[in-house]
Every structure is written in structure tokens, then in C-alpha cells.
Amino acid sequence: MDLRFTERIASENQAMEVGIYEVITNKTGNVRTFYGRFHVALRKENGTWKILVDTDSSEGNVIDEQDYMQASPMK
């Protein structure tokens, strides 16, 4: 699984990240690639970032490689 970001908003103790994921599977020589959009809300508690909400969707399979390539890679 690889992630790229379309939005990353953060304060000292809260963050929201939105992006596109790519998953490549290879079962018995049959390579398949899947794409989707994710939304993650995080909160820092006692110095540790914790995920509050993590959702993802293929949005009816309309997310594709072009969407993935237009998003920013993880830094």
C-alpha cells in the first residue's frame, strides 16, 4: 500500500489528512491495482498521535492512477 496526499492540515495537537492510496496485489501471477481516497483525523494525546477516524472509499471505482499521481507523495 502506498499513500499520497491531497490535503494535510495540522495544528499542534490535531491533524486531518486526505489523499489517495494505491494497493497492488499479485495472486498467482495475476497483478491487480486498486485506488481509493482516504480521510484520517488524528489527535495528539500525551505526546503520541492517535487516529480518531480513518475512512476510505473507492468512490464507485472512479479513483484512478491519474488521481494518485496528481497527489503529493509522503515526505
Q: Enumerate domains of the chain plus CATH numbers.
A: 2-73 (3.10.450.50)
**Measured distance CA(29)–CA(55) in Å, rounded:** 30
Confidence at residue 75, expressed as pLDDT on a 0 to 100 scale:
76
Confidence at residue 74, expressed as pLDDT on a 0 to 100 scale:
84
Of 70, 57, 53, the residue nearest 15 (C-alpha): 53
Low-confidence spans in the chain with pLDDT less than 50: none
Q: Phi/psi class of residue 7: alpha, beta or left (left: φ > 0; alpha: ψ in -120 to 50)?
A: beta
| Other beta carbons within 10 Å of 66 | 9
The answer to whether 4 touches 19, Cβ cutoff 8 Å, is: yes
**Measured distance CA(5)–CA(54) in Å, rounded:** 14
